[in-house]
């Protein structure tokens, strides 16, 4: 018996897994004719990245309803708080008799905020963000890490610059560590006990082969053209520019890498990203039902 055999059809489904592990296909299978596949991937919200973020194809979207994919333009503000408000509307519709949500993604912060709650942290002033940007450029990520409070440092991925900078900014702006703010969170939108939560556990070598093949396929199917189209407004510090493989393909467009080297570097970056995802899944999602792949 697998976690799929005893899914309660009356409850929302959550699917977490690393990139290229087959989450989208599984979600469509579970959603069937009466569900909606809901995105919980921070990169797939951006309209500019259909191919490079491996968003569902137009054909898939025509077969099964999809929500929160490609609905934000580069330059717009978007955060986990925005996503929670949007997914909250989907859950409200479900509770009023609408389609069952099958919420999928590899962005652990989205899924833990959904199931564990999100701290109501005051907005970070622009001058604090500018200070963090400057400190990161001058002194590197290690300097930001060194400034964090121990409780926060123990909770976040210290190799993820965006997560570290966010934690640094919160501490600098409020005088309280991110972990302390998170300890004060209220009831989550979807407690884990009220959902069917599945965690995909992928063999490392199997996943690496899928990642390499998929990245090469993305380039063949238009990822390079996507990057070329966004190049006039390219801003490597913007949230939408964090698409895995985008910096490498930008470097090719700028004549800094051959296409073969850009593809190889993009594949390596994606494998590293998957490694961080697998670490997060193991450490933060122990209460989810494991489904081993392949």
Which region holds residue 20: left if phi is over 0, alpha if psi is between -120 and 50, else beta? left
pLDDT digit string, tens, across residues 193-234: 999 999 999 999 999 999 999 999 999 999 999 999 999 999
Report CA-CA distances (Å) from 14 to 37, 158, 160, 253.
10, 26, 24, 38
Give the Cα separation of 51 and 115 in Å (integer): 29
**Contact between 63 and 101 (Cβ < 8 Å):** no
Distance CA 238, CA 235 (A): 6
CATH architecture of the domain with residue range 204-276 = Orthogonal Bundle (1.10)
| pLDDT (tens digit per residue) in 71-86 | 999 999 999 999 999 9
For residue 290, what are the β-bridge partners? 199
Q: Can you give the three-state secondary structure of the chain, one letter per residue?
A: CCCCCCCCCCCCEEEECCCCCCHHHHHHHHHCCCEEEEECCCCCCECCCCCCCCCCCHHHHHHCCEECCCCECCCCCCCHHHHHHHHHHHHHHHHCCCCEEEEEECCHHHHHHHHHCCCCCCCCCHHHHHHHHHHHHHHCHHHHHHHCCHHHHHHCCCCCHHHHHHHHHHHHHHCCCHHHHHHCCCCCCCCHHHCEEEEEEECHHHHHHHHHHHHHHHHHCCHHHHHHHHHHHCCCCCHHHHCCCHHHHHHHHCCCCCHHHHHHHHHHHHHHHHHHHHHHHHHHCCCCEEEEEC
pTM: 0.84
What's the chain's average pLDDT?
94
> What pLDDT shows up at residue 119?
84
- For the segment(s) 13-118+187-203+279-293, the CATH number from 3.50.50.60, 3.30.160.40, 3.40.50.300, 3.20.20.140 is 3.40.50.300
When pLDDT is cut at 50, 70 and 90, the band that residue 182 belongs to is confident
Q: Rounded to 5 degrees, what are φ and ψ at 33? A: -95, -5
* Domain positions in the chain: 13-118+187-203+279-293, 126-183, 204-276
Q: Residue 1: what pLDDT? A: 61
Q: Which fold has domain 126-183?
A: Histone, subunit A (1.10.20)
């Amino acid at each position: 018996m697998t976690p799929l055999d005893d899914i309660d059809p009356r409850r929302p489904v959550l699917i977490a897994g690393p990139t290229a592990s087959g989450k989208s296909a599984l979600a469509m299978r579970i959603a069937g004719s009466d569900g909606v596949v809901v995105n919980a991937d921070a990169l797939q919200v951006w309209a500019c990245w259909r191919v490079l973020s491996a968003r569902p194809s137009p054909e898939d979207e025509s077969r099964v309803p999809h929500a929160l994919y490609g609905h934000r333009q580069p330059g717009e503000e978007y955060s986990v708080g925005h996503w929670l408000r949007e997914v909250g509307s989907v859950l409200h519709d479900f509770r009023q008799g609408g389609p069952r949500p099958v919420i999928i993604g590899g962005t652990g912060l989205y899924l833990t905020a959904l199931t564990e709650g999100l701290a109501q942290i005051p907005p970070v002033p622009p001058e604090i963000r500018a200070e963090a940007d400057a400190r990161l450029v001058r002194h590197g990520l290690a300097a930001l890490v060194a400034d964090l409070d121990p409780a926060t440092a123990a909770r976040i991925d210290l190799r993820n610059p965006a997560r570290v900078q966010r934690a640094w900014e919160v501490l600098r702006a409020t005088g309280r560590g991110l972990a302390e703010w998170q300890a004060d969170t209220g009831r989550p939108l979807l407690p884990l006990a009220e959902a069917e939560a599945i965690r995909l556990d992928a063999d490392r070598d199997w996943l690496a082969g899928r990642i390499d093949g998929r990245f090469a396929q993305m380039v063949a199917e238009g990822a390079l053209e996507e990057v070329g189209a966004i190049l006039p407004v390219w801003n490597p510090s913007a949230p939408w520019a964090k698409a895995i493989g985008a910096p490498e393909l930008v470097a090719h467009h700028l004549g800094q890498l051959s296409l073969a080297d850009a593809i190889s570097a993009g594949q390596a970056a994606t494998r590293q990203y998957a490694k961080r995802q697998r670490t997060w899944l193991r450490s933060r999602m122990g209460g989810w039902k494991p489904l081993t792949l392949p």
